[in-house]
Structure 1
Amino acid sequence: MTDARSPPDADFRDPDALLRRAGVRGNPDRDQHFLVDDRVLDRLPEYARETDADLSHVLEIGPGTGALTDRLLAVADEVTAVERDPKLAAFLREEFADEISAGRLTVVEGDALEVALPDFSASVSNLPYGISSEIAFRLLPRGKPLVLMFQTEFGERMAAEVATDDYGRLSVSAQHYADVEVVEPVPREAFSPPPEVRSAVVRTTPREPDYEVDDEAFFLRFVKAVFTQRRKTLRNAIRNTAHISGLDDAAGVVEAIEAGETDLDPDVTSRRAGKIPPATFAALAAVADEYGRNGADRGESDRGETP
């Protein structure tokens, strides 16, 4: 683990000056909104430090002109920055030539959804909102601390507790991997250009769930299926979404539960998905696997799908 470098009180590169030197302007059509508020930029690495996260190798997705990269280099031993814009990647290589020569910064040019990611110890990133879900669920299974900028509504759904309005498929899926908390709302004016949506910083702390899942891919797909009909009872939601969950005998699953053939409360099928905690979803998925899938279907779930 990295030694505790000095807190970010150094004379960092000015975000607006970086934009001028790079000769770029944010382009909303390309999901480019550069974070330029020094105070927010200073706090992002600190949210990882507060949890004693291992900052020996920090991954940054979408570094842009490097305002956050500069601050990450102050607290991390090594930073890998993944930038899909060729012009910005070239600028980063020039602007941070000394750090690259010293082996402390690696700039990877490419799409963060496609490039091979390094064996990072934590990620601190101002994500492009258009790929927030895909990136989040590429990173979460790696079991590393994350500090990520999201659209506020997305972050609130990730962190939502059971039986609240925001609780849903995203909540269950994200909290399967980590404790999730919204740590700071970020005003539109912190970005150039200001986005139309509200933003928030989300911190995830990896941990093992308090339940067991034998087939993680099927569990996540089952959760997805049921939440597509969140206004219906589980009895109807399970039966109506077999084409999504991949069940061969959805009716048999419901019948087994209601007949008391499982450890689940038979009345659970009368409840709706928004009232079901993750541990109960895990138990439901196990029953669905046992009573609703042919043996040949097991292990064939789509592992590349995101919530």
Structure 2
Amino acid sequence: MTDSHPREGRRRDPDALLRRAGVRGDPDRDQHFLVDDRVLDRLPGYLPTDADRSHVLEIGPGTGALTDRLLGVADRVTAVERDPDLAAFLRGEFADEIAADRLTVLEGDALDVEFPEFTASVSNLPYGVSSELAFRLLPRGRPLVLMFQREFADRMAADPATDDYGRLSVSAQHYADVEVVEPVPKEAFSPPPPVESAVVRTTPRTPDYEVDDEAFFLGFVKAVFTQRRKTVRNAVRNTAHISGLDDADAVVDAVAEGRTDVDPDVLGRRAGDLPPETFAGLASAAAEYGLGGESG
């Protein structure tokens, strides 16, 4: 492929885009451009078959290699780019698509900007803030196809009682079904990052359990996992200062005495063995018996 702009229906070459933009990735700024055509071509196809593709959000478009592919499957794309020079390049490179109201380039930090009402997101996220961005996106209840560090991806999708299962697994799976759909080698990026990567697909669903206070639930999960090697009984007692409980003993007593929907045997298990629905039951018991000085 040459450096000339692509003809209608022809995919833009990622290396040519880098040359036109006159940039190189900067590891110090968490910039690693995805340049493998095969991976780029596959990413949009990982959206669920029935996903609404009318308005796709892309975070971290860089020079627009993935943006180009998304415009081939979506009615509209909004690309959020924090680098002013890259945002300016995108506006020039995709001037026709912008003029046709098919692409919006939103300049700013994706942690701070207000996201539009999107129907799905496909993004190669900046790894340094991937967790924060994932948890900006997951509560929106839209299908996501996101590139992460492999370790992070494996933890998101992990099953209970496995080494990778933890707070991240429970929190992500509270919002969606999570699966790792493709490992991606370092060589797919320019410059290569120091870690392997993976593509994660999240398909939103309503959990089969009730959570009255989502913020408290997520905070409670975080607290208990800080003592994942302890039994749940001790973890709840030892982390009241993190979870905000006023009376952790009252929570443990209520579960032990069968006054909650949680099996008392759970108290003798460890956090890494418990599925999200069990954490939901524990969090409900904690809110009922452990807040405001109530003792049951």
Q: After the TM superposition, which segments of 4 or more aligned residues of structure 1 sit over 4 Å from their partners?
A: none
Pick from 264, 273, 286 the counterpart of residue 288 of structure 1.
Answer: 286
Match of 2:54 in 1: 56
Task: Tell me, in whole angstroms, the C-alpha distance in 2 between the residues paired with 1:279 and 1:209.
Answer: 8
Task: Tell me, in whole angstroms, the C-alpha distance in 1 between the residues paired with 2:77 and 2:264.
Answer: 51
Q: Tell me, yes or no, if the aligned pair for 2:247 and 2:293 is still in contact at 8 Å.
A: no
Normalised by the length of structure 1, the TM-score is 0.92
Q: What displacement does 1:261 show?
A: 2.1
Amino acid at match of 1:22: A
Pick from 120, 123, 129 the counterpart of residue 121 of structure 2.
Answer: 123
Q: What displacement does 1:121 show?
A: 0.2
Amino acid at match of 1:19: L
Task: Tell me, in whole angstroms, the C-alpha distance in 1 between the residues paired with 2:234 and 2:204.
Answer: 34
Task: Tell me, in whole angstroms, the C-alpha distance in 1 between the residues paired with 2:42 and 2:96.
Answer: 24
RMSD: 1.3
Task: Tell me, in whole angstroms, the C-alpha distance in 2 between the residues paired with 1:177 and 1:22.
Answer: 37
Match of 2:133 in 1: 135
Task: Tell me, in whole angstroms, the C-alpha distance in 2 between the residues paired with 1:287 and 1:148.
Answer: 34
Pick from 240, 243, 262 the counterpart of residue 241 of structure 2.
Answer: 243
Amino acid at match of 2:283: A
Match of 1:178 in 2: 176
Q: What displacement does 1:243 show?
A: 1.1
Match of 1:19 in 2: 18
Pick from 227, 230, 233 the counterpart of residue 232 of structure 1.
Answer: 230
Q: Tell me, yes or no, if the aligned pair for 2:55 and 2:76 is still in contact at 8 Å.
A: yes
Match of 1:206 in 2: 204
Amino acid at match of 1:286: S
Match of 1:253 in 2: 251
**CA shift digits 1:186-209 (9 cap, x unpaired):** 011000000000100000000000
5+ residue gaps in structure 1? Answer: 1-8, 297-307
How many residues are treated as equivalent by the alignment?
287
Q: Tell me, yes or no, if the aligned pair for 2:147 and 2:200 is still in contact at 8 Å.
A: yes
5+ residue gaps in structure 2? Answer: 1-7
Task: Tell me, in whole angstroms, the C-alpha distance in 1 between the residues paired with 2:103 and 2:264.
Answer: 56
Moved more, 266-275 or 106-115: 266-275
Normalised by the length of structure 2, the TM-score is 0.95
Q: What displacement does 1:255 show?
A: 1.3
Task: Tell me, in whole angstroms, the C-alpha distance in 2 between the residues paired with 1:96 and 1:10.
Answer: 14
Q: Is 1:87 aligned to residue 85 of structure 2?
A: yes
Percent sequence identity is 80
Amino acid at match of 2:158: A
Q: What displacement does 1:267 show?
A: 2.0
Q: Tell me, yes or no, if the aligned pair for 2:217 and 2:280 is still in contact at 8 Å.
A: yes
Match of 2:150 in 1: 152
Amino acid at match of 1:231: R
Match of 1:33 in 2: 32
Task: Tell me, in whole angstroms, the C-alpha distance in 2 between the residues paired with 1:255 and 1:217.
Answer: 24
Q: What displacement does 1:295 show?
A: 8.2
Q: Secondary structure at the match of 1:54?
A: coil
Task: Tell me, in whole angstroms, the C-alpha distance in 2 between the residues paired with 1:236 and 1:76.
Answer: 50
Q: Secondary structure at the match of 2:72?
A: helix
Q: Secondary structure at the match of 1:230?
A: coil
